[in-house]
Structure 1
Amino acid sequence: MIEDLVLVFFALLVFLTIRFRGSFYRFAALAVVFFLIANPAIRKKSEAPPPVLALCLDTSSSMAVKEGGMSRIDRAKEVIRRELPELRKRFSLSFYTFDSGFRQMDEEDFFRCGASGGASLISRVCAEITASLPDGGAMLLLSDGRDTAPEPSYFSKPLHSAGFGRVIENDMSVKVLEYPEKVFQGAVSKLRLRLERSGERSQARVTISRAGGKIAEKTLVFGEGESVKDIDMEFVPDEPGENIRYRVELHPTDARPGNNSDF
């Protein structure tokens, strides 16, 4: 605005100098020229702000899987830490984590987060985040690429991805979500479980045991296109108590037996 006014004033002085040929107008015109040369705020156009890049880290439980002594999520963080100096030169960075939903946070919390989330709704989350970015923005997805509920989505800004973890075919995992606070001998109780699968394996036998003795067993079948299943599994305790932990196992074990059981 100031720059435009100065230029208009300068043009007016030039006109008056030509029209009236007065020394006053010549002096004023020279003063404006000197002001334009000496003042960098007038001479220099303001630079456009850098584009926004949203760094979006998958925090679902599958990112906790270790490969080569390091979890997938820690490997993703390591890569981003290494590239941060270069990214900051080109972009204004924003930080997100996601599993069944997304959360925007500061950089410190981003690098401190763990992988303990449930479903990994990649398509839905990416559509929502890209829609929230300003024009010229883009998104970098850091994930093992396992969308537990894929759906058709529209990404309104450019989306780039970096994958972490090997593809595991026919893998199935189990995680205890909730224990009963108190159990009574001979009375039916429940454990809340989450089973996840990839590949073609669709069936598993789930057992609950304690101190080497099996106290419940159930066969579970995934439907077509179903990759996550939350269930309540009933069992009858062999003794009363509070906050008792039970071992839950999948049978038969698969190529990644480390996630075939939980306490």
Structure 2
Amino acid sequence: MAKKTYSVRYVAGQPVERIFPPLAFSRLGQALPPGEPLPGSKLLRVMVWNIYKQQRADWLSVLQGFGKDAQLVLLQEAQTTPELVRFATSNYLATDQVPALVFPQHPSGVMTLSAAHPVYCCPLREREPLLRLAKSALVTVYPLYDGQLMMVVNIHAVNFSLGVDVYSKQLGPIGEQILNHQGPVIMAGDFNAWSRQRITALYRFADRMTLREVKFIDDQRRRAFGRPLDFVFYRGLKVTEASVLVTQASDHNPLLVEFEPHKRTDKSVPETKIVGIPSVG
């Protein structure tokens, strides 16, 4: 019998809560409850990092130095150790994790730390076909200061599979939700795009979703077979700064991106002038 997929929410001073996927995505954005927006006047700071289950030294100092100034921190391979949960609940209003791997003490999976409570939360899991281990993804929605609702997708893509069928299958329900969402979108994480087939499938998916890729001038992202593994895609936003933090605190380097939300009157990809970052062709 397949294990139920759920996310675990950590909020300071409140009991831990399990959240199960919604029954349908078709009315996404039409009946979401109101909520307090992400703080900040116009700049939205996002950190994306595969934290390698906190197996290396200095992971906490990296989060304290760079994560606490971000309104959103998207972690992959985050293990719910007391130290990480303490950091999350001390610096963020809500933290949601989708357990993918259950270790003797603490589960590991994607974790989204946010400076506002999400008004929508959908956990997703996909099993690795060869190792029979699960990878997770999390879709959350947050109000912005200007009244828009922003969708955030945190993903750790399947790694060991023959071909791209399972890889594309994992992206399927994410695409369904993006297509049903009218506002800005950020999709980021460890996509394990280490083959030509995988990166082609990923770019085709992003194109169908009208998502742009964040480009990094000094691109120090972790690579496998010469291809980067970590990506940030977006729509309905303007990138004002993007950098890669070089560190030994994980086997991946964190991505740091600043966005500026802007209003849109249609669903087309906007003309965007990015300061200091090459435009997407």
Kindly indicate which of the two structures has a greater share of residues assigned to helix: 1
TM-score range, shorter chain: under 0.3
Normalised TM-score (structure 2): 0.23
Q: Higher RCO, 1 or 2 (CA under 8 Å, sep at least 6)?
A: 2
